Amino acid sequence: MSRYFLQLSYDGSEFHGWQIQRNANTVQAEIDKALTTYFRRKTETVGAGRTDTGVHASFFVAHFDCPDDDLEKKQSTHLHKLNSILPKSIAVQKIKKVHDDANARFDAISRTYCYYMHRSKNPFNLRYSALLTGNVDIDLMNEAAKKLFDYSDFTSFSKLHTDVKTNNCIVTEAAWHEENEKLIFTITANRFLRNMVRAIVGTLLDVGKNRITVNDFCKIIEQKNRCGAGKSVAAKGLFLVDIKYPYDI
């Protein structure tokens, strides 16, 4: 049995996130169904992490096991046939053979998310970007974003009553920039809590609109209380855009 990493992307609009759930349509369920149909044997995947309902991924990785030890040899054929089985909202781009004990979730070194916002109504942005109302101070939001590097416990930005053992994360990148009339927030960390990015974005917007100060932002983190943070922004503007792994995997 050989292990493979599957690189894929998906529009999360119609899915209840990545993780398989009872009575809910998920990306993992569609991937597992397509692999099982194609290989004619039950095939299950392990994803690099969970994405919430409505969140997208331009880059995602999952691993699966297969008796064929040379899938890469006819990769273009396999990818074409898998994509013909999958719904239009999911696409696979690459199959990579890895070590037998490689794990798409636990071997990931970092993950990067981008949150997209637009300033004026645009029908072509409705599905993948959130409308920003009012003015914001980007420099002030970036000043606050840098404070994330000083902390490791992000309970204040985590969805309540989750089953994780720790709320500690190491943030290595967090910044806002403008590009083609869009405001984009990029954040990289070794791991993320459920709802973490959307809660951080909502709270940083409060800073940018002068509802709270940078010092208030720090106090919110230190309180370790989700009720003190800002509202979570809409899921549709959030994309998982990159995942890093060791070179020798």
Q: Is residue 164 pLDDT above 80, yes or no?
A: no
Q: Indicate whether 171 belongs to any domain.
A: yes
Instruction: Choose the final residue of a domain: 98, 119, 144.
Output: 98
> With a threshold of 0.85, does the pTM exceed it?
yes
User: Does 52 participate in catalysis according to the annotation?
Assistant: yes
Residues 21 and 134 in one domain: no
Residues 86 and 114 in one domain: no
Q: Hey, what amino acid is at 212?
A: I
* Tokens read off for 31: 């991937």
Instruction: Choose the final residue of a domain: 34, 69, 98.
Output: 98
Q: Is residue 162 pLDDT above 70, yes or no?
A: no
Q: Is residue 161 pLDDT above 70, yes or no?
A: no
Q: Indicate whether 104 belongs to any domain.
A: no
Distance CA 114, CA 199 (A): 13
Q: Is residue 180 pLDDT above 90, yes or no?
A: no
Q: Indicate whether 40 belongs to any domain.
A: yes
Q: What is the pLDDT of residues 214-243, one digit of tens each?
A: 999 999 999 999 999 999 999 999 999 999
Neighbours of 29 (CB within 10 A): 17
Residues 124 and 217 in one domain: yes
- The CATH number that applies at residue 89 is 3.30.70.580
Q: Indicate whether 200 belongs to any domain.
A: yes
The DSSP letter of residue 93 is E
Question: What does the pLDDT read at residue 183?
Answer: 97
Question: What does the pLDDT read at residue 121?
Answer: 87
Residues 66 and 123 in one domain: no
* Tokens read off for 237: 């503007």
Residues 10 and 69 in one domain: yes
- The CATH number that applies at residue 119 is 3.30.70.660
Q: Indicate whether 76 belongs to any domain.
A: yes
Neighbouring residues of 163: CB distance < 8 A, sequence distance ≥ 6: none
Q: Indicate whether 135 belongs to any domain.
A: yes
Q: Indicate whether 249 belongs to any domain.
A: no
Catalytic residue (choose from 52, 139, 153, 242) = 52
Residues 150 and 211 in one domain: yes
Q: Indicate whether 17 belongs to any domain.
A: yes
Residues 131 and 189 in one domain: yes
pLDDT band at 36; cut points 50, 70, 90: very high
Domain count along the chain = 2
Q: What is the pLDDT of residues 116-152, one digit of tens each?
A: 999 988 898 889 999 998 899 999 999 999 999 999 9
**Of 93, 188, 101, the residue nearest 145 (C-alpha):** 188
Question: What does the pLDDT read at residue 199?
Answer: 97
Provide the domain limits for residue 81: 2-98
pLDDT band at 87; cut points 50, 70, 90: very high
Residues 154 and 197 in one domain: yes
Q: Is residue 44 pLDDT above 90, yes or no?
A: yes
Q: What is the pLDDT of residues 13-35, one digit of tens each?
A: 999 999 999 889 999 999 999 99
Question: What does the pLDDT read at residue 181?
Answer: 85
* Tokens read off for 108: 């990931």
Residues 85 and 162 in one domain: no
Distance CA 160, CA 113 (A): 21
Say what percent of the chain tops pLDDT 70: 98
> Helix and strand tally (H, E) in the chain?
5, 9
Residues 230 and 201 in one domain: yes
Residues 43 and 82 in one domain: yes
Of residues 8 and 247, more confidently modeled: 8
Residues 116 and 231 in one domain: yes
- Stretch 37-48: mean pLDDT, rounded? 96
Query: Residue 9, Cα to own-chain centre: how many angstroms?
Result: 11
Instruction: Choose the final residue of a domain: 36, 65, 98.
Output: 98
